Amino acid sequence: MPIKKTLSALVLTALMSLAAHADPLSYARYDQVRTSDLYLDLKADFGRKTLGGYAELTLNWIDKSARTLVLDTNELSIAKVQVLNPNGHWTPASFMLDKLDVQKGRALRIALAFQPQKVRVYYRTAPSAAALQWMSPAQTMSGKRPFMFSQSQDINARSWAPVQDTPAVRFTYSARIDAPAGLRVLMSADNDPAATGDGGWKFKMAQPIPSYLLAIAIGEIEVRKLGPRSAVYAEPARIEAAASELADTEKMISAAESLYGPYRWERYDMIVLPPSFPYGGMENPRLTFLTPTMIAGDRSLVDLIAHELAHSWSGNLVTNASWKHMWLNEGFTTYVTTRIVEKIYGPEIAEMNLQVEQEEALVSLLTVPASKQALSTRGPDTDPSTYADGGLIYPKGAWFLRTIEQRAGREVFDPFLRGWFDQHAFQSATTEEFVDYLKKNLLDAHPEYMPQAELEEWLYGAGIPATAARAASPRLAALDAQRAAWLKGELPTADLGGKDWIALEWMHFLNDIEGKASAAQMRELDQTFGLGKSGNNEIAYRFYLGSVKAGYNVREPLNKFLMSVGRQKFVVPLYSALLKNPADKDWARAVYAKAREHYHPVTQASVDKQFKNNR
């Protein structure tokens, strides 16, 4: 009897451990078997808007009694499944697809008589695949060739490949992609600038990655070399502007290496995608995906590049084990971004950037429920609806790390953080694992750097702890005084120093006039500084948002903006503001009816939700 109790306790402990690390957004039983390598052999069909072919998975069996392989899929049409027998022949395997779950898709369950080393799944994607946007020639800059690109994060890789779609599983991959003549194929792998595509476009990613970093782009694309290990790809009409904007890339790589150790991905290439790309950037290793909205003509928005580069250490090198722990990716990366910016552009610019970041975080607390203001949640990962807000974790996580850095000093904190990256390289980690590392390597010897109660408040509490020191830029303080006097009517618009402000100063100025400035003041700003025609999309977005809320008519430039830019950060708040104004609601519906087809499916879903909630 005592022995049975002991065994039961061991089993229970094992099950609890599995539950604590299991990813509720994946069907995969990666406690039983893990993908170690993926090979894709696919053909892009722009007429049908599909990818078709097969995926070959190399498997590492952990549970020797397991006889089922479970993969994540979403809208994939599965033709057949084959397994590699010990005699080297491929033979059919039985499979079934579970009932559709709207969020997670369908589990593909493959029944096996033994534990094969390799499995092949023959399939075709759906035209509506959540990860893929298929663009007609008319939606591209040249108007001559179609374009397609992917966005796999968070769980959309399963819509274009049958995989264990969880950041807990990392694998190497290779691919051969057939595409129409005249189109270049790029992937988050080794892209050869001299490749022609004869015999298919071939790729290899030697470093293990999680599925959300699986990426592909196909289109009329040119390349420009930036440095010995960096290049940029873009549509022909955008390539020169992109190369000019990203000229400091090699400096950024060197700056990051000086802080956190060698860059371990060999090359850092980038592709500037069409404007419908839904995010500012996506850190796909060896090929960062970028929005063209970061091209301002003066390199004023290159902190976005610093952020995506920083992911080469935090996120790509050390990855959150599930999306519950996403702050380990984004909070760390946001902190590292500021350090890179400081190294390249100096402490004054870094301090301004940090203050704007922190102020926007504090403003977001007004709309983010307190229950979602923590960096992480305690206990098992079972309920994704309880996870922290996906936007707040960026600045709050960075603020947390900066707090420890300020107390420990950089001579202590920098080696500590580099040690985290070195010791967990190419691994997936949890919040609990970071806390354990933090205590063993810093806090056990120096508890004064952060008492336990404060540590828990940062990780699991709402808001920003009162102990957090705020960044304070003298230049932004002087700007605050000008803004206050201008809002009161004491300082004429013409006397604002806006002609000499950099982008960060304009962003700071515009962030705090929503609902405070009158329509007349917004008109004067526009007439004096030409904000409605700004080539800096961060400035233009904030000006349009403030104008809509003030009642200043900016429909003509705003219509052009909404028709040409698909970045969620911009279009979702703008449509939301328009829908809340009865005078603008019908106009917003008319614009969206025309603009929707130009947006990526991810953006469409977000804006559709705004219209549904504001009928």
Distance, CA of 91 to chain centre = 39
b/e string for 426-443 if b means 16 or more Cβ within 10 A? eebbbbebbeebbeebbb
For the question of residue 342 being annotated catalytic, the response is no
The single residue of 212, 260, 345, 394 carrying the catalytic annotation is 394
Residue 543 CA to residue 557 CA, distance in Å, equals 11
Q: For residue 439, what is the DSSP state?
A: I
Residue 241 CA to residue 516 CA, distance in Å, equals 36
For the question of residue 308 being annotated catalytic, the response is yes
Please write down the HEC assignment for all residues of 507-548.
HHHHHCCCCCCCHHHHHHHHHHHCHHHCCCHHHHHHHHHHHH
Q: Under a CB-based contact definition with an 8 Å cutoff, are residues 147 and 274 in contact?
A: yes
Strands 287-290 and 269-272: parallel
Rg (the chain; Cα; Å): 25
Structure tokens at 564: 């040409």
Q: Under a CB-based contact definition with an 8 Å cutoff, are residues 397 and 310 in contact?
A: no
The single residue of 56, 235, 283, 308 carrying the catalytic annotation is 308
Angle at which helix 410-423 crosses helix 393-408, to 10 degrees, equals 130
Structure tokens at 366: 């007004």
First-last CA distance in the chain:
64
Question: Residues 6 or more apart from 86 whose CB is under 8 A from it?
Answer: 114
Residue 129 CA to residue 110 CA, distance in Å, equals 22
Active site (catalytic) residues: 308, 394
